[in-house]
Every structure is written in structure tokens, then in C-alpha cells.
């Protein structure tokens, strides 16, 4: 079954949206602005030193590998980095395999994310690549900051809609979904210590206006930070398309996609 539309520019909602640049994942017909022309090689700007990265950022910032798809590269010090990030995890088995149709799925380093640095309970516990697990630890910290800022309460549980599914992206059938490599996650809701539950579907709000509620402002600000601070390479919300009106799609693809505005 093909992946739901994880990436690809939606029809513009208004004139401003029609002129706003939108990065897209690469395929033969749509190369993202950050990717160098394959005929000329990397530009001098692409080879310049990147700016300092925020702590905990896991997004792939290399513009020369945007056309590469497949399982993420192993992280040599994975266990040590997880421990340093305050992540409690168990090894998981998700071997890399090639299907008869040529699709490759799985990941060399898979873990079950049991608990992160802020004590949030994940429902269910995500099975994740090492990189995704590290990104989830940073997500927890950012989400707690934004929840206290906008909602005056801490998050106790996050409901997620899945990390692993061997499938292709519907709009880009030549590309595998990052879910195929346990390298992406769908986040649906946040349970607060005061009893409230903030669901993406209910509180994100219409994309053609500013959010009118603290819950909506929390969700918008969280999505922006997860992309702007390079926590994830790809952040998709209802701004991307209607298939994302009930969850955030977050992944660590080698290309970048900002679906938060």
C-alpha cells in the first residue's frame, strides 16, 4: 500500500501561498532548491561550512545527498549518545531487507524508545532508528517548553500513530517513505498534567488564519521549532495537505521539507 502523501506541494490556498517557495523531496521531475544540479556538481556555497547547529538537532543539512534514499547511516556511538540524551531504550530487530519488487526496508540500528529525558510516556512506545530516537529526546524538551509557555502545564503522554511501515510515498512513487526505515513518526496528541488532551486534529486550526486558542498556538509554535531548530529534516502539518490535519509527520530524510507554514 503506498504511503500517504508525506511530501509534495499542495494546491495553494491563496495568492500568497502561490508565490511562497515550497521545498519538496527530490524525484526525477522535482529537485529541491537545496540540491545541486546533477550535471554541474555541488556549488561553492554548498561546500561552505554550515552554521553552528542547535543542541539536539538531527536534521540532515547536507545539500549534496538530497537524491539519496535508503536506510540512515549507522551512528557509531549510538548507545552512548542515547544514554547522554537521557533516553531509556531496548534493542529492536528491524533488519534491512530487499523485497522482490526491489524495495528496501529496515534499519541497521533500531531501538524501542521506552522513556526520554522529560519522563513523557509514549503511546505506543516507538520503534525507531537511533537518529530518530535522539530526535525524539529533543522533541520532548522542546514540547515541554512550549506547553509550559502556552498552556501552563507539562506534557505527560504523547500519542503517536506509527513509525514503521514498508511502503513508498504516494506522490513520489520512486521513493521509499522514511517510515520504511523507522526514521519517521506521526504524532497525534499531547496529554497534559492538568488533564487536558491537545489533539492536532481539534486544535491546530484553519491554516488561513492565526490560531485563536492557546492549544493552537502551542501546536503551531512547536511545529515551527521542530523544523527551524533542525530537530527533524521534514515536518509536515495541515499546511502541507489535508492528509496531515490530524497529525504531525516528522522524519529524518536526507532532504528538507518545511510543511509548517
Q: Which of 181, 25, 164, 176 is nearest to 103 (CA)?
A: 176
In the predicted model, what is the mean pLDDT of the chain? 85
Whether the predicted pLDDT of 39 surpasses 80 = no
pLDDT bin (cut points 50, 70, 90) of residue 49 is: low
- 239 three-class SS: coil
The 10s digit of each residue's pLDDT in 58-71 is 999 999 999 998 99
Burial 178-204 (b: 16+ CB within 10 A, else e): bbbbbbbbbbbbbbbeeeeebbbeebb
Q: Select the more confidently predicted residue: 56 or 143.
A: 143
Q: What is the DSSP string of 90-114?
A: EEE----EE-TTS-EE--SSEEEEE
Q: Which of 229, 101, 226, 94 is nearest to 165 (CA)?
A: 94
Whether the predicted pLDDT of 50 surpasses 60 = no
- 74 three-class SS: coil
The 10s digit of each residue's pLDDT in 197-220 is 999 999 999 999 999 999 999 999
In this prediction the pTM is 0.82
Q: Is the dihedral of CA 26, 30, 33, 37 positive or negative?
A: positive
Cell of 208: 488561513
Share of the chain above pLDDT 90, in %: 75
Q: Select the more confidently predicted residue: 167 or 50.
A: 167
pLDDT bin (cut points 50, 70, 90) of residue 5 is: low
Amino acid at each position: 500500500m503506498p504511503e500517504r502523501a508525506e511530501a509534495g506541494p499542495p494546491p495553494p490556498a491563496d495568492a500568497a501561498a502561490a508565490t511562497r517557495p515550497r521545498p519538496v523531496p527530490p524525484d526525477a521531475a522535482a529537485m529541491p532548491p537545496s540540491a545541486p544540479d546533477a550535471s554541474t556538481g555541488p556549488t561553492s556555497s554548498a561546500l561552505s561550512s554550515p552554521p553552528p547547529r542547535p543542541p539536539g538537532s538531527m536534521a540532515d543539512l547536507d545539500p549534496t545527498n538530497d537524491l539519496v534514499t535508503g536506510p540512515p547511516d549507522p551512528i557509531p556511538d549510538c548507545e552512548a549518545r542515547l544514554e547522554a540524551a537521557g533516553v531509556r531504550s531496548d534493542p529492536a530487530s528491524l533488519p534491512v531487507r530487499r523485497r522482490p519488487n526491489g524495495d528496501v526496508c529496515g534499519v541497521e540500528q533500531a531501538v524501542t524508545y521506552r522513556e526520554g529525558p522529560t519522563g513523557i510516556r509514549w503511546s505506543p512506545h516507538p520503534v525507531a532508528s537511533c537518529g530518530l530516537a535522539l530526535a525524539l529526546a529533543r522533541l520532548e524538551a522542546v514540547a515541554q517548553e512550549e506547553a509550559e509557555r502556552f498552556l501552563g502545564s507539562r506534557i505527560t503522554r504523547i500519542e503517536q500513530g506509527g513509525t514503521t511501515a514498508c511502503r513508498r510515498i504516494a506522490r513520489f512513487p520512486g521513493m521509499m517513505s522514511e517510515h520504511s526505515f523507522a526514521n519517521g513518526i506521526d504524532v497525534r496528541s499531547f496529554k497534559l498534567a492538568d488533564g487536558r488532551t491537545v489533539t492536532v486534529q481539534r486544535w491546530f486550526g484553519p491554516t488561513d488564519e492565526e490560531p485563536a486558542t492557546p492549544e493552537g498556538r502551542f501546536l503551531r509554535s512547536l511545529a515551527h521549532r521542530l523544523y527551524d531548530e533542525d530537530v527533524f529534516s521534514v515536518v509536515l502539518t495541515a499546511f502541507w495537505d489535508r492528509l496531515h490535519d490530524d497529525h504531525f509527520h516528522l522524519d529524518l530524510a536526507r532532504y528538507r521539507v518545511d510543511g509548517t507554514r
